[in-house]
Amino acid sequence: LVPTTILALQHYQTFSQRMKDFGVAIEYLTRFKSAKQKRAILEKLADGKIDIIIGTHALLSKDVRFHDLGLLIIDEEQKFGVVAKEKIRQLKVNVDTLTMTATPIPRTLKFSLLGARDLSVINTPPPNRQPIHTERRTFSTEFIREAIYYEIHRGGQVFFVHNRIQTLPAIVQLLQRLCPDLHIASAHGQMPAQDIEHTMRLFIEGQIDVLVSTNIIETGLDIPNANTIFINDAHLYGLSDLHQLRGRVGRSNRKAFCYLLTPPHTPLTENAIKRLRTVEEFSELGSGIHIALRDLHIRGAGNLLGSEQSGFINNLGFETYQRILDEAIRELKEVEFKDLFKEQLQRPSYRYIYEVSMELGEEMYIPDDYVRSQRERMNLYTRLNSIRTEAGLQRFAEELRDRFGPLPPPVERLLDTMRIKWICQKLAFERIILKDNTLKIHLPENPSNPYYDSPLFQKLLQYIHSHPQQCQLKQSTRRLSLLINGIRDILDVKLQLSDLQSSLIHEEPQSATL
């Protein structure tokens, strides 16, 4: 079972070649097949005349019947949703199942670490494989042209990933102008099936020099001759996506290159910078599990994961267990028993949201030249994320000054973002965005959130009414947003939100345990 038609076709070709001397009947089932071909395949499958069937989600449809299903292999498991996985379980109760992925999603990895599933990690790469050189670069036509010709002159091919179908032709035209003597083609998921198949066959056969595509090439594609990949607007991708796309190159004994392109003159968010740096740092072969573990750790799995632990709470991590329990209790209070807990829900100290998203347009991180050890930087990030009070933050800053010297501006901004985050949690601001000297604040998206019946929301409305020149309330189809004008930088954001907190909650923001 595979997530894309291209991968199904490639697996079919690989299986057919490797099994040709064993008398094994192999077929594949995708939307490339006609209705007549599909009926014939399904009949053979039900009669037991097919030994190995390779397919996409089509294998999960109701009209598929297996004669005697003994082994289910799921490739690129992270691409299948919960609904698909429930259908897989219904295929057969006791079927042996093998799921394969370079970057398991946190939920799947958690199950394995808890012992609910067996986990095997393949750390040994195939012979003569080399690590993929991964580099973040600003979009530059001169650099792109040089890198493409470098790959072509050594007999290779190039991927250029641009995940916007509307502007894909413009990228093809740009590359054709830069490299007029090369054969450049494009592929995306909205193309007719036969066109995708034809384009991919030409690329696999080496008749196309540069393939410009969306991220449909992400899952499992194996083309050993393609050893340079450009990922345009790399800051918009997740960790798993970046690692999977990088894995499309470096599948032979040649040195491979992955270039993460970001637009010039565009400030990146803190999370985007972290993602790109993580992909750059973990470029060694077999590093997917480390990226997945980092992702799992960031999302709250804690430091207690390990084979020597036992028991549900110990394996999962006490903090994460407490957080899951707290979220479940909050949901019950706010939905099913909101009348019973009405008084508690309206207290100023009640937290109406859990997570806060911030896009402040400035770099906020611990620089490499300030703390040189990557492991130590990760430890500091983890400690910083666990701090809940201003006093704790001050002690953390003093320790940094004592160990590493005066705080550079990105670290000062990083500490200020923690203060901003605490205020947002208290004021129920789910997301804040600073752009063009305007601070946009998203209030809770769920209209049934008890926040909208609380005195805190009423006080916010009064504050907006008393500051008409500076504040404006906007209603969109999904949520309410507050716009505050005249906010230039992170310091302004902190001062403005501190003033808001003082007006709405009537307490000094740095005096309470947050």
DSSP code string of 284-300? STTTHHHHHHHHHIIII
For residue 309, the model assigns a pLDDT of 27
29: left (phi over 0), alpha (psi -120 to 50) or beta: beta
For residue 292, the model assigns a pLDDT of 65
Amino acid identity for residue 404 in this structure: F
What confidence category does residue 330 fall into, taking pLDDT thresholds of 50, 70 and 90?
A: low
Region 69-92: mean pLDDT is 76
For residue 513, the model assigns a pLDDT of 37
> Which helix (DSSP H) or strand (DSSP E) does residue 244 occupy?
helix 239-246
Region 393-412: mean pLDDT is 92
> Which helix (DSSP H) or strand (DSSP E) does residue 78 occupy?
none
Asked if pLDDT for residue 91 goes beyond 60, the answer is yes
Which has the higher per-residue pLDDT, 32 or 411?
411
Q: What tokens does 255 get? A: 């040195």
What confidence category does residue 305 fall into, taking pLDDT thresholds of 50, 70 and 90?
A: very low
Residue 280: exposure state from Cβ atoms within 10 A (0-12, 13-18, ≥19): middle
Q: Which residue has the tokens 């449909």?
A: 216
Q: Name beta bridge partners: 75.
A: 100
Mean pLDDT across the chain:
81
For residue 514, the model assigns a pLDDT of 36
**Is residue 76 within 8 Å of residue 3, measured between CB atoms?**
yes
Phi, psi of 481 (to 5 degrees): -130, 145
**Is residue 409 within 8 Å of residue 367, measured between CB atoms?**
no
Task: Report the DSSP pairing between strands 210-213 and 157-161.
Answer: parallel
Region 269-291: mean pLDDT is 75
Amino acid identity for residue 301 in this structure: A
Task: Report the DSSP pairing between strands 480-485 and 471-475.
Answer: antiparallel
Distance (Å, whole) CA 424 – CA 31: 48
Distance (Å, whole) CA 180 – CA 328: 59
For residue 427, the model assigns a pLDDT of 87
Percent of the chain with pLDDT strictly greater than 70 = 80
**Is residue 431 within 8 Å of residue 358, measured between CB atoms?**
yes
For residue 26, the model assigns a pLDDT of 94
pLDDT in tens, 160-219: 999 999 999 999 999 999 999 999 999 988 888 778 878 888 998 889 999 999 988 876
- Rg value, the chain, Cα: 27
Q: What tokens does 246 get? A: 């990088």
Distance (Å, whole) CA 172 – CA 186: 7
Asked if pLDDT for residue 234 goes beyond 60, the answer is yes
Instruction: Report pTM.
Output: 0.51
For residue 317, the model assigns a pLDDT of 52
Q: What tokens does 475 get? A: 């209603």
CA terminus-to-terminus distance, the chain: 47
361: left (phi over 0), alpha (psi -120 to 50) or beta: left
Angle at 351 between CA 350 and CA 355, to 5 degrees: 175
Q: Which of 107-116, 135-144, 351-360, 476-485 has the lowest mean pLDDT?
A: 107-116
Asked if pLDDT for residue 127 goes beyond 80, the answer is no
Distance (Å, whole) CA 298 – CA 278: 12
**According to DSSP H, which parts of 19-140 are helical?**
35-47, 82-91, 106-114
Range with the largest mean pLDDT of 101-105, 344-348, 466-470? 466-470
Distance (Å, whole) CA 514 – CA 511: 9
**Is residue 203 within 8 Å of residue 210, measured between CB atoms?**
no
Report helix, strand or coil for 509.
Answer: coil
Phi, psi of 160 (to 5 degrees): -130, 110
